[in-house]
Homo-oligomer: A and B are copies of this chain.
Amino acid sequence: MEVLLGLLAIEPMSGYDLGLTIRESIGHFWNESYGQIYPNLKKLAAEEFVTAKVQRQKGKPDRHIYSITKKGRERLAKWLAVPPQPEVPRNELLLKLFFSAQVTPDLPIAYLERMVATERGLLRRFEQIHEAIDRSRQYPDTPYWKMAARFGELELEAHLRWAEEALAELKELNEMSGRTAIDAAAAKEKRNAGK
C-alpha cells in the first residue's frame, strides 16, 4: 500500500511500471504482486491519495498513469513517521538445516551450494544497482537509495562468508558419516583437544 505512495512520490507511473520498479530497485527488501498492486491503486484513488490519467495506446491496452496528491504526500509522511516494527523472519533454508540431523549431510550441502551460486549472482547485480543510482542523479533521494543497496550488499557478503564456513563443516560431517556416531564424536573431541 504505502510502497505505491512512496514510489509515486518520486515519479508518476502505471501499476504495471510500479510492479517492474519494485522488482528491479527494491526487490531485495520488498515485494508486491500485481494481485496486490492493482486493487490497492484503486483504493488509493478512491480515497484521493492518488489521481489517475488514462493514456491511450495503439495495439496495447490503455495505461493508467497514477500521480500522488497532496493528501497522498501527507499520508506518506505520516506513515514514514511511524517507527518500523521488527519483522518476523522466515528462513526455510535455516529451518531445514536446523533439522538436518534427520537426514544425510549431502542434502544441506546441496542447498548451501545452491545458495552460494545464486547469491554470488546477486552480488554482481548490486554493482549494477549502484551504477544505475549514480547515473540517475535524482538528487535528494540518491543517498538513501545507496544506503539501502549497501545493506543488501553487506548482508549478502555475510551470508556468503557464513555459507563457506558452514559448507566446510558439513563436508567434514559427511566424511565422518561412514563411521558410527560414537566414532565421529570421539574424532571431533580429539581434534578439538589437539588445537
A12 adjacent to chain B (CB < 8 Å): no
Chain B residues contacting A101 (CB-CB under 8 Å) are 140-141, 144
In chain A, residues 132-182, which have Cβ atoms closer than 8 Å to a Cβ of chain B?
139-141, 143-145, 147-148, 150-151, 154-155, 157-159, 161-162, 165-166, 169-170, 173, 181
| Of the residues B84, B93, B110, B147, contact of A92 by C-beta under 8 Å | B84
The closest CB in chain B to the CB of A146 belongs to B169
Cα distance A37–B186 in the bound complex, in angstroms: 38
Flag A81-95 by CB within 8 Å of B: 1 or 0 each: 101111111111111
Judge if A185 is at the interface, Cβ distance under 8 Å: yes
How many copies of the chain does the oligomer comprise? 2
The CA-CA distance from A90 to B170 in the complex, in Å, is: 30
Which secondary structure characterizes the binding site on chain A?
helix
Contact (A99, B9) CB under 8 Å given A92-B84, A147-B166, A148-B94: yes
A26 interfacial by beta-carbon distance below 8 Å: yes
Interface residues on A, range: 35 or more
Residues of chain B contacted by A94 (CB below 8 angstroms): 26, 29-30, 148, 151
Give bound CA distance, A159 to B155, whole Å.
7
CA distance A101 to B159 in the complex (A): 29
Cα A118 to Cα B87 in complex, Å, equals 13
Q: Is the CB of B99 within 8 A of A29?
A: no
